[in-house]
Amino acid sequence: MFLTISTTGTPERPATDLGYLLHKHPGKAQAFSTSYGTAHVLYPEADEQRCTAALLLEVDAVALVRRGKGKGRGGAPDAALAQYVNDRPYAASSLLAVAIGAVFSSAMRGVCGARPELPAQARPLRVEVPALPARGGPGLVRRLFEPLGWTVTAEPVALDTEFPEWGDSRYVRLVLESESRTVAEALRHLYVLLPVLDDAKHYWVAADEVDKLLRVGEGWLPDHPEQKLITSRYLSRRWSLTREAMARLELVRLAETDDSEVEAIDNAVAAEAEAEEKPTPLAVQRRDAIVAALTEAGAARVLDLGCGEGHLVQTLLKDPRFTEIVGVDVSMRALTIASRRLRLDRMGERQASRVRLFQGSLAYTDGRLKGYDAAVLSEVVEHLDLPRLPALEYAVFGAARPRTVLVTTPNVEYNVRWESLPAGHVRHRDHRFEWTREEFRTWAGAVAERHGYDVRYVAVGPDDPEVGPPTQMAVFTRNTHTNEKEAKAA
């Protein structure tokens, strides 16, 4: 399966700039291994006037079937055979989108270190996908790409050219042309719309697909007339996920709306999630594990350090055992969203007296963090550069010193179980690192040792016998020995 991207150029803006934009040198053919096979990038032509990059994905059909195992793909009786004998190896599909994401990730983000001015410049572009499975036919192909500024050619591919009476296959030959789009935009459009047209997404839809869709759809999806179809197909008709994505797109569009709308959307999403029988999302399992550990520790006054958009604060507020909840984050934007989520400005006085949000960095000691029963660092440490971690360690365990500290972080070993994650990638692009179970325990054990805490570990999410759970949590308890010393000192 393959696609080509071509551009034309002039002596001032040579076509070979495409190599910079794609971060792939036109002079050499390169190969990248992805979870489904090998992706090749090569340039059939590359001179000042014309340059074409081809992405060719060699699919390992057997690996593909193996990876699909155990994800409840069951289905029709012939599914077993269809798994092996199918169009995956040659038709452009969601796999090609995965390869785009893996091979051209910087290009998709519009980053070009060597020539920072280039990515924002539109240039003549032509994209060709010779065999694109298109459920919905050429008409839908046009409805998806034309609103994005592409001139679309979508020709049905005959089932068999020798027997025209057999009619058309479900494939089209797609050509997109535009003078007004950037390479990053082209890649982002393809990344989302190829699987939408394929509509047979091969891999399990993880909850973070919503984030991915919103990120890649930034700047074009919120205003697309087919937004609903794109969202639901991209998320493989998982309705609660679709609703969440739709709701969040709505949030983006209504950036400055009043809170009742935000609440209405949140409620709709929650109702949808409840109505549907589905595995509990990992984020919810994480909050459940945190609440359980806090309850077990008898904590009433709790810090949520790196509280982000306030989901945990919201959960804690619903439980009267938590009498004081303080959310701290370095990001003003996250705190603004959190305060709208919590409707801080309209809260009754009693509720309001239980909760506070403030801005602060965990890389500095902060007197405001002293005197609490517990501190939670949920999915935060991996957002700090490793050299900053000792500073966080001191601020939390050395200076603030709550009796209980909970730290959760991804278990990188589990990443092979996320079907949608290209091999060797972290789960979130802001993650500076992800630890194995051993690495996490080495860090946590040393922290406990240095600061007089005991530590135990809790698996969050399905504990895979081979690779462990998706999230690992350390529960630190300040040890009695230290407590006594402190009591004496006081």
* Measured CA distances, 64 to 68, 69, 219, 289 (Å): 6, 9, 33, 34
Q: Are the CB atoms for 303 and 375 separated by under 8 Å?
A: yes
On the CB side of 276, how many CA atoms lie within 13 Å of its CA? 18
Among 53, 97, 289, 380, binds ligand SAH (CB under 6 A): 380
Closest alpha carbon to 394 in 421, 413, 431, 366: 366
Question: Which of 202, 383 has the CB closer to ligand SAH?
Answer: 383
Stretch that binds ligand SAH, among 7-15, 54-62, 267-275, 357-365 (CB under 6 A): 357-365
Question: Shortest approach of ligand SAH to residue 401 CB, angstroms?
Answer: 18
* Options 70-78, 163-171, 200-208, 379-387: segment touching ligand SAH (CB under 6 A): 379-387
Where does residue 393 fall: left (phi above 0), alpha (psi -120 to 50 degrees), or beta otherwise? alpha
Q: What distance in Å separates the CA atoms of residue 238 and residue 201, rounded to the nearest whole number?
A: 12
Between 194 and 473, CB nearer to ligand SAH: 473
- Kindly state whether residue 363 participates in binding ligand SAH, applying the rule CB under 6 A: yes
Q: With CB under 6 A as the contact rule, which of the stretches 54-62, 266-274, 347-355, 356-364 interacts with ligand SAH?
A: 356-364
- Minimum distance from residue 286 beta carbon to ligand SAH (Å): 7
Q: Per CB under 6 A, which region of 18-26, 131-139, 306-314, 396-404 contacts ligand SAH?
A: 306-314
Beta carbon of residue 110, minimum distance to ligand SAH (angstroms, whole number):
22
Q: According to CB under 6 A, which one of 55, 362, 369, 389 is a site residue for ligand SAH? A: 362
As measured in angstroms, the least distance from the Cβ of 290 to ligand SAH is 9
Residues 252-290: b if buried by 16+ CB within 10 A, e if exposed: eeeeeeebeebeebbeebeebbeeeeeeebbeebbbebb
Number of residues that bind ligand SAH (CB under 6 A): 16
Stretch that binds ligand SAH, among 167-175, 214-222, 360-368, 474-482 (CB under 6 A): 360-368
Q: Quick one: which segment of 17-25, 29-37, 305-313, 365-373 binds ligand SAH (CB under 6 A)?
A: 305-313
Nearest residue to ligand SAH, by Cβ distance, number only: 308
Bridge-based pairing state of the strands 404-410 and 374-378? parallel
How many whole angstroms separate alpha carbon 37 and alpha carbon 15?
Answer: 30
Q: Smallest Cα–Cα separation from 366: which of 396, 393, 386?
A: 396
Does the protein bind ligand SAH through residue 282 (CB under 6 A)? no
Least gap, CB of 99 to ligand SAH (angstroms): 28
Residues 94-153 that bind ligand SAH (CB under 6 A): none
Q: Is residue 405 part of the contact set for ligand SAH (CB under 6 A)?
A: no
Strands ordered across the beta sheet of 151-158: 30-34, 37-46, 50-59, 2-8, 125-133, 168-178, 151-158
Binders in 307-336 for ligand SAH, by CB under 6 A: 307-308, 311, 329-331, 334
Taking the complex as a whole, the smallest distance from the CB of residue 203 to ligand SAH amounts, in Å, to 24
- Say how far residue 105 (Cα) sits from the centre of its chain: 13
Q: Is 338 in the site for ligand SAH (CB under 6 A)?
A: no
Residue 38 CA to residue 298 CA, distance in Å, equals 52
414-426 burial by CB neighbour count: b if 16+ within 10 A, else e?
A: bbebbbbbbeebe
Report whether 359 contacts 332 (CB < 8 A). Answer: yes
Given the rule CB under 6 A, which of 122-130, 166-174, 191-199, 359-367 is the region that contacts ligand SAH? 359-367
| Burial bucket for residue 445 (CB in 10 Å: 0-12, 13-18, 19+) | middle
Closer residue to ligand SAH, CB minimum distance, 189 or 383: 383
Q: Give the footprint of ligand SAH on this chain (CB under 6 A).
A: 306-308, 311, 329-331, 334, 361-363, 378-380, 383-384
